[in-house]
Structure 1
Amino acid sequence: MSKDRPSFGSGRFGRRSGARPIPRPALMGRLDAADGMIVLVGGVGAGKSTLLDAWVAARGGAMVDLAGGDQGEWEFGEESPAEWETGGVLAIDGVTAADGPGLEWLAGRRGVVVAAEEDPGIDGVERISARELAFAEDETYQVLAGAFGDAEAADALAPDLHLLTNGWPGLVALAGAWLAQHPDGERQQWLRTLARVERGLAEYLVPAVLAGLGGGDREVVRRLTRLPALDARLADQLDITEDLRAVPPFVQELARRPGWFAVPDGWRAAIASEMPLPVAEVAALRSAYTAAM
């Protein structure tokens, strides 16, 4: 197969409003039932952040992202460790091995979940691996059904896509968004091309999905990648968009804060590489965001 990406007009087939992430009751139950801290371990696209977002939304509490640099403080300023102590759960995303020793005092606390790409080495805690975070085939089907808005079309493609991706949540979501940009009658053919991709599927699919977005959606993704999160008021005030909504899989509504949208941390670096912004423009955007908050 040619290594050139398939060409099609930006937004040629429009896009559907993004469905919320699929429910994962078995994993949510494990987080609830743990006697102490749980550590989620998996690389980019394993679904860690999405699971934490849903869990905090359902149970109440605080979530912090340690991976976001200047974006990674207690989110939006509305949560703090002291506030978490009064009740609810605590989710800590973006943990590294260097963070592990500082989190050991939480190891025996119930309602604490830590997410990391590599095991941070905290002793005496339960771990959920990337293999356990992977989708079952029925979950892959649910992602496709949401992307296509067509249960029958999703049912026809889900088994092959599940085998191709091993149920890796990020790859399933990327492939679903990319296939949704093609007419129904061509999707099986395009899915077969993915089996012949000679580099990583994410490396192939991220630019392909971005290329298929309409201009307005591309600009939302480009700018929101440089910010922690947006709601409609901020998006309008910063002149980013008058129609803020999900752009799967790159812009997701936060379950724990309805009406707010963010780019998952796992996609930020790849999007920034594909759609750069001048340093001065990024600085001005972040300054305006801080002032508007």
Structure 2
Amino acid sequence: MIKQIQEKINQYETIIIHRHERPDPDALGSQLGLAEVIKDRFPNKRVFVVGEEEPSLVFLGEMDHISDQEYNQALVIVCDTANTERIDDKRYDLGACLIKIDHHPNEEPYGDLVWVDTTFSSTSEMIVEFIEQGKTAGYKLNSTSALLLYAGIVGDTGRFRYTNTSPETLQRASLLVKQPFDQNAFYSNLHKKDLKITRLQGYVLQHFSILEETVGVMRLTKEDLERFNVTSTESSQLVNTFSDVEGLKVWVFFVEDGEKIRVRLRSKGPVINTIATEHSGGGHPMAAGATAYSWDETEEIVKKLVEVCK
């Protein structure tokens, strides 16, 4: 599959790379990292990255603003996005060929070529493997692509603390840190918080609840977000605020966002992505997202979390 993707990249002069909406470090790391690798290998090709900007991660790189005409006879690659509903910038289907590269369960195998492998910690780790297998074809790392892919792996492994961190993950990460980028500056940028986020974090620590000594629950209403001047997307930085509480097995953040309620699910063991799929979502067994359409529906989700912990 990697060779087939390389052949497609060879064929097209314009390449446009997408990722999922409300991007995290892996979405941006894999998107921008792959773009950097292709630009380095093919300086004359036209390579674009598209989607909405995420202010807290803009230090990784900025998006391109392109017209619909650019998609004419273009190769489109979508990174780190399990289903078409979550692809940021809905013009992904205007190109001549579509490739999906992802490490989430392949619930919607869209695209002309599909490279999905759930054994990887992150899509960024997949791009590292793409480069390793593409050495003979001229692909290589530089300091910029290494930083971006390192950011993606760090983000999706929780700084190598999550169970998706395999020996192969660490081996591939070691290839990245051999490149000359500033790790201290990266971590400083990744973990810095605006004062408003820090104040909201204090509010979360005071107001989250624990059910059955195993399920952590936090609800943020539109009024809460307005009071702290924080967006729904920005609040995602706080999903693990109380994750270290003793005895906690799963936790959930409910964040009101317009007419919907964003649901962020995390676990230390029980499988929770099955619950996410029952509520317009999906993801990994221990890290998933969903959407609720009423506060009553959030109560249903909490009851299911209590049951899965039993």
TM-score with structure 1 length normalisation?
A: 0.32
The structure with the largest helix share of the pair is 1
Select the structure with the greater relative contact order (CA < 8 A; seq sep ≥ 6): 1
Q: Normalising by the residue count of structure 2, what TM-score does the alignment of the two structures yield? A: 0.31
Give the structure with the larger strand fraction: 2
